[in-house]
Amino acid sequence: MERGLRRFEGKTAVVTGGATGVGFATARRLAEEGASVVIAGRRSDVGREAEETLKKAGLAAVFVQADVADEAQVRFLMDEAVRAFGRIDVLVNNAAAFTPGRFMETSWQDWRKVFDVILNGAYFCTKEAARRMIEQGGGGRIVNVSSINSTRALEESSHYNAAKGALDQLTRNTSLELIDHGIRVNSVALGFIDTPMSIVDGVKEHETDWFRDIYVARKKIPLQRTGQPEEAAGAIAFLASEDASYMCGAVVAVDGGLSITF
């Protein structure tokens, strides 16, 4: 991060799934740039730890336990954000869920869980945050965390890919309607990022032979490496800032160049 950059001074940001991985890196980045940050998540242990980590660094942060798939809990989350810091200026819809499974073997419960968190969670959070932004007089920034999988097919990921594709469309449609209130909505489409979600069935996919062969040695990823959560956070912070003032409804790939290869 550029030394002294304070693009979010006096602003409040809500980051869902903000206790680990990309979510925590984003919460920390926004806080380092002056924002008061509300970390939202289902697990109180890791949430409290994330809050304390930021506070020990002298940053303004609070953890609110909430399940984004539950509309009442989302309403509580946004009320707590306003109660803690007085307003909401930035929302980052980062919460996600994924359990690998082939389409014909995926249960309705597993399918619905992924959609409830990724798509319905973004719907609830966007609606509740936007309502408060409008009540404040308009203005605000919403960044959805999507995936390059939203436009691709991958075995054992039909529910995840479909949910992310729907999230991209939600980004476009809400950007069109909310811009009337000065609220800009954009999205990042992430590729391989080194987070806990990269561990599938106990195996870290980035450390497998197939990943090293296809994505690194053969340059399927032109940068020949995985991304770090802080790199994703940098793109998210950009979209949430005034540096992205002429961007509306964009889905920006942050994937080391993976989406340009075939």
Residue 174 is predicted with a pLDDT of 98
How far from each other are the two terminal CA atoms of the chain, in whole angstroms? 32
Taking CA 81 as the corner, what is the angle to CA 174 and CA 69, rounded to the nearest 5 degrees? Answer: 55
What architecture (CATH level 2) is domain 12-254?
3-Layer(aba) Sandwich (3.40)
Active site residues: 160
**Residues near 241 by beta carbon (within 8 Å), at least 6 away in sequence:** 7, 8, 141
Evaluated on CA atoms 115, 150, 31, 136, the torsion sign reads negative
Q: pTM (2 decimals)?
A: 0.95
Instruction: Count CB atoms within 10 A of the CB of residue 86.
Output: 11
Please, is 191 exposed, middle or buried when counting C-beta atoms within 10 Å of its C-beta (0-12, 13-18, 19+)? buried
- In the numeric block, which tokens belong to residue 144? 């959805």
pLDDT value of position 205: 77
Every domain of the chain and the residues it spans = 12-254
CA–CA separation, 31 and 58 (whole Å): 9
User: Which pLDDT score is estimated for 101?
Assistant: 92
pLDDT for 208: 86
Which pLDDT score, from 0 to 100, does residue 200 have?
A: 63
Low-confidence ranges of the chain (pLDDT < 70): 1-3, 197-203
Burial of 172 (0-12, 13-18, 19+ CB in 10 A): middle
